[in-house]
Structure formats: structure tokens, C-alpha cells
Structure 1
């Protein structure tokens, strides 16, 4: 893929590679459904003889808005992402990855964590290693978007499932994230038995075995600092000889058109 699609720019034409920079992920699509954005889109509607603007003009407006978001994250969003953005933004249905709830631990008025089982299933995966964690996430996410929207052997939009998950690795002290990350997309249920092949050779289809996991939700942005903070906080909650904490974790990112806050989860996988 074209790695320039995920360039992090400092506004002066130079690439920045320092830690702590923002990045675009699936959860940023929440902003496209906020009332402010809808209001802006409505005000910019153009009618010609009573006919609404053409679909490609609407696509351009979405792309322009997304590029504005990208500039806020110091990331360039290329024109080739216009169609994926249009498809994902206007998708009415988002299938949630099915799981079985085994146990729930509550604290106060909320859920502290859950134990779940996700059955064996097919996932589309890509492993990326850029010079920063943020750039790795951006590169992988752009590739997954293209696969979902058209770059597959069916040549069509496959349908959105949530969450999009990212496998991250830390050092033993849980103080640093590895630069290599794996992003994974759960194939919709109607495609599980016959998943379309990706045209991007860097994306692979993998059958993941049944997973037993412990999940803890959090809201807000996901960057290297917040992810490490959430991993360490969850490790303290799960401190038990029966719940080994390794250096491999899963970050799950959700998007909902009705969500008022970003919904993320950290998953700890039980060793099988």
C-alpha cells in the first residue's frame, strides 16, 4: 500500500516521527454523525433546479470533512479514501462480533469487567510496523478500510463489523508498546464460510481459534499513553494466579451512529 496515505505532517511539509501524535481510527467516524457535522452538511447542500447534488459531490464533501479531521490529527487523508469513507459513513448496519458472556464483575453503578468467549471465526488481518505506533495503526486501518469497501475478490462493500481489533505487545514492565501491530476485521456472518480474498497481498485471512477473554471498557481517545494506562489498570484488577497477564493484548474500537462517547475496550486473552 501507499504509506504516504498515512503521512503525519507538521503543517510545514515535514514528516514528524515523534511519539504521542494523534491518528485516525475507526472510532473517529463518530464525528461524522454528530449533530454539528450533520448541520454543516445540510447547510452546504446545493440544489440545481430542485435536484439534489450528485453523489460524487456528496462524496467530496465527506472527504473534505475527513481531511479536516486528519489535519487535526496531523495526518494526510488521500483522495483515494473518498469511496471507503462514503461507504463506511453511510452504512446503516454494523454487525457486532458475537460472543457469549460468561461472567460480569460490577463495581458501583457500572460494569468493571466481563469474561467472554468468542467462537472460532475468520478474520482479515494485516501486520504493520512503522517507525511509530500511531503510524502503524494508521497504515493498517487504511488497508483494512480498502478491503472492506472494494479491494476484494467480490469487488463490493462487504459490510461493517465492530469492533475492529488491534493486537498490541508491550515490554514485561507494561511501559512501552511495540512498533509492530496487527489489525483485524471480523468477517460478517454471511461471509464466514466463504470469505472473499483481499487484493492487497499484505492482508491475510486467518481462522482464529475460540478465545476466552477478559474485557474492560473505557471511553476517550486511544493513543500510546492511554492504551498503556488502561492495560496497567486492568492488569491490577485481574491480578490473580489464575489469570496470567502476558505482554500481548487486544484493543477493541467501536463506532455507533448513536454513540455520544467513543467506546473502546481492552481485552486480556486467557492462555489455552
Structure 2
């Protein structure tokens, strides 16, 4: 797998076609078992987390594996510990959000159509994937990031979940479909920004993304190729000057447990440098 940059402002990787499994599906697995999943994890390090009951780790892993096979995704045995970590750290109050400044917004009849935001320079853990299926790439990339978050890093500590998880995608020249490759990115928590723990997985790279202005619109429901292309076209129609943004590179931001009644996602357009 190539270790290329995944910066917000144009140096971003290419992404994917349609597929069969999404982060939504994997997130839903542990939620159906009665606990929150990665998106609902505590943003702080748990120094003395209580161990699960005997057999609970195997039960969670087996459940993920069963569902994964139905979507042509293999969940390896080595995912048992990360799944347990993200399941037991399930407080929603301390999830750390990526900081940003709202520059302006466009509203109609009291509804926010989109926001213009400034994101500061920051470090992200990035993994580039290029599977046959779009959702397979997202799923497998996120599982690698899960391992990085859950102690497979130079600090040996659980880093904590941050939101949103970003997926950098690209379209073909006609902007009619997504290309196969995606980059999945995790924001390094604020207290680790200066010296991020290094991944043990060499496919994960720590990138410092420059300050970036984005135009962002919220949408609900699952994130798949169809919904992403729909949201890209919708936001392009709403923007007064879409030509000021990159035309082939976009970001999908995921905030909430997709099993929730009101799922929260965003599509981001990147303003040209």
C-alpha cells in the first residue's frame, strides 16, 4: 500500500467505487449488543478500565465476524482487543471534536443550508485504501485506525475517540462517480497534537494538514457511494461560487453512531488554496 500524503488542501488521496459494507454497519454491530461503539467512545484515556466478563470479548468478535462475512469483509481475530476497548469506553460526554471556526453560513426559512468553516493546522492519522468495493475500503481502513487508537502505537496507550472520522474521496472528471481509492483519517487528540504517538502499522501515516477553509452541509442516513454523490451535487447547486473549491476532491465527515435515529454526517467542499 502506498504511503502518500492525505492533506485537506489538494494533496488528498483518491477514493472509491460502490461496495457492500460501511462504517455504519460495523458501528451498528456493537450497538445492537447493547453498548455504544467507536463513535460513542470516551475521548480520554482510560487508565483502569474494568475488564469485560469472561467470553465477552469473544462474543463481540464473533458478532463482528459474522456480520462482516455477510458483507464480504473479514474481521481478523486481532481485532478482538480494539473492539473491546472501543466498546467499554462508551461515555458520550467527553468525545473530542475537531476544533473549527464558523466564518459564515447560508440559511433559508430558518434552515442552515451550509456553513463556511476554518479548520486550523492539525495532525491526522491517515490510511489509504483501495479495495474493490467502496465500503470495504472504508471498513478496512477504519479497522486499522482502531488498532492505532487502541494501544498499537508508540505510547502503548488507548488514545481516545475523536469526531468526526473523515473519509477523503475523489470523483472522476465528469463528477459522475467516485474513484476506487479512499483515505480514512482520525484527528489526533488535542493533548497529543504536539507529539502524536507513532503507529506500529507502517500503512498509517501521521500527516500535518495545513489550515483549510471548507464549505460543509449536514445530511442524515448511511454514507455510501449513492448518498455521497447525491450530497456532492446538492451542495454544488447551493454554493454561489463552487468553482472556488476543488472539483474532484471531497470529504465525508461522520459524527454519530449510525444506528441512532438521527444520524449525523457532513459533506465538505475544500476551498482552493
> Fold-level match, TM-score > 0.5?
yes
Match of 1:80 among 67, 71, 78: 78
Is the contact between residue 96 and residue 161 of structure 1 (CA under 8 Å) also seen in structure 2?
A: yes
Query: Does the alignment pair 1:69 with 2:67?
Result: yes
Shift of 1:132: 3.0
Q: How does 1:165-244 map to 2 (within 5 A)?
A: 165-240=166-241, 243-244=244-245
Question: 1 or 2 for the larger relative contact order (CA 8 Å, sep ≥6)?
Answer: 2
Query: Does the alignment pair 1:38 with 2:37?
Result: no
User: SS of 1:125's equivalent?
Assistant: strand
Is the contact between residue 27 and residue 259 of structure 2 (CA under 8 Å) also seen in structure 1?
A: no
Alignment correspondent of 2:42:
none
Is the contact between residue 26 and residue 255 of structure 1 (CA under 8 Å) also seen in structure 2?
A: no
- Can you list the C-alpha shifts for 1:61-80, whole angstroms capped at 9, x where unaligned? 22233234324534232221
Alignment correspondent of 1:250:
251
Is the contact between residue 27 and residue 255 of structure 1 (CA under 8 Å) also seen in structure 2?
A: no
| Shift in alpha-carbon separation, 1:20–1:168, aligned structure 2, 3 A | closer
CA distance in 1 between counterparts of 2:236 and 2:185 reads 23
Shift of 1:185: 0.7
| Shift in alpha-carbon separation, 1:162–1:170, aligned structure 2, 3 A | same
Q: Where does structure 1 lack aligned partners over 5 or more consecutive residues?
A: 2-18, 40-52
CA distance in 2 between counterparts of 1:138 and 1:239 reads 34
TM-score normalised by L of structure 2:
0.79
Q: How many residues end up aligned between the 2 structures?
A: 241
Shift of 1:210: 0.6
- Can you list the C-alpha shifts for 1:10-46, whole angstroms capped at 9, x where unaligned? xxxxxxxxx6432131674255336xx429xxxxxxx
Match of 2:58 among 50, 57, 60: 60
| Shift in alpha-carbon separation, 1:249–1:81, aligned structure 2, 3 A | same
Q: Runs of at least 4 residues of structure 1 off by over 6 A?
A: none
Query: Does the alignment pair 1:23 with 2:21?
Result: yes
TM-score normalised by L of structure 1:
0.79
Is the contact between residue 221 and residue 258 of structure 2 (CA under 8 Å) also seen in structure 1?
A: no
